Structure 1
């Protein structure tokens, strides 16, 4: 086996786990989930059926990645952050995936802070940074820093993780430069 799953965790039938991935204590991976290479799933992580998780993804303790959520490569999910997949849940009228959970996409390199909540049906742009405790209700532009409840954009974050100057859209740390694009920023060629 080229990956590690702690003996207290469960991996259901039809699950694909990439090389070098580690799944820690009391986690559960549901049927037909796909987890990429070199991921780290902390204690008490739940991965719903048919979920796709890219490579080099870090999911901290107590996170549930429900059906309908897709995490691209290099995504970070902080401790106890929350995804939803049903906009109007009712215990007396349960839905199934066939009835249509609202999809959530977290694009490459995005980071979601501890205790943040991501409401279903949203896309978090590439390399976006979601502050701890933020509540995301709408799509997030690439490289945007979002904070608050409900979350509002408070600046731009470089790929390297440093806040950028809002006027020059350049990073003092790594010297990358960005330009405004259709859905946020993009790296300047």
Structure 2
């Protein structure tokens, strides 16, 4: 197996930092400043903005947008159509001086359709349930569900 990343012919990858063995599928756009690690799978119809860092062995399923300020550590799973937000007070054509950092720690999983508000941290190995709305930090290994997301248990006790 080649160490070169695979970029589908119908993807628009402008980033210079795509790790070895990473797969980028059709209709993905990755802007020049993004950094994508090794052995990742970026599924079709995703968008990755400039100030984004994706670790190694990360899976980003279809329909996800990673906006400026998003950091995904190693071994993170992002389910289909997860929505990250990066501006706590969005207005058309009015940008903050800096976007808050949203950090998903190593080994965490986010279920399909979840919404992640700006500036939160999802702890290592935590699990966010499908459709959850994460409005505050999620502790390490916590399982959160609902709107707003709340802890219902812990994985790997």
TM-score bucket of the superposed structures, by smaller chain? over 0.9
Aligned residue in 1 for 2:109: 111
Q: Please identify runs of 4+ aligned residues in structure 1 that moved more than 2 A.
A: none
Q: 1:20-169 maps to which residues of 2 (within 5 A)?
A: 20-91=21-92, 93-95=93-95, 99-158=97-156, 169=157
- Deviation at 1:128? 0.3
Secondary structure of 2:71's aligned partner = strand
Structure 1, residues 102-150: CA drift from partner, whole Å, max 9, x if none?
1100000000000000000100000000000000000000000000011
What root-mean-square deviation, in Å, do the aligned CA atoms of Structure 1 and Structure 2 show?
A: 1.1
- Deviation at 1:157? 1.1
State how far apart, in whole Å, the 2-side matches of 1:73 and 1:122 are. 17
5+ residue gaps in structure 1? 159-168, 170-189
TM-score when normalising by structure 1:
0.80
- Contact in 2 for aligned 1:15/1:30 (Cα 8 Å): no
State how far apart, in whole Å, the 1-side matches of 2:55 and 2:94 are. 29
Secondary structure of 1:105's aligned partner = strand
Larger radius of gyration: 1
5+ residue gaps in structure 2? none
- Deviation at 1:15? 2.5
Q: How many pairs align?
A: 155
- Deviation at 1:94? 2.2
Q: Which of structures 1 and 2 has the larger relative contact order (alpha carbons within 8 angstroms, sep 6+)?
A: 2
- Contact in 2 for aligned 1:70/1:106 (Cα 8 Å): yes
Structure 1, residues 85-108: CA drift from partner, whole Å, max 9, x if none?
0001011x4205xx1111100000
- Contact in 2 for aligned 1:70/1:105 (Cα 8 Å): yes
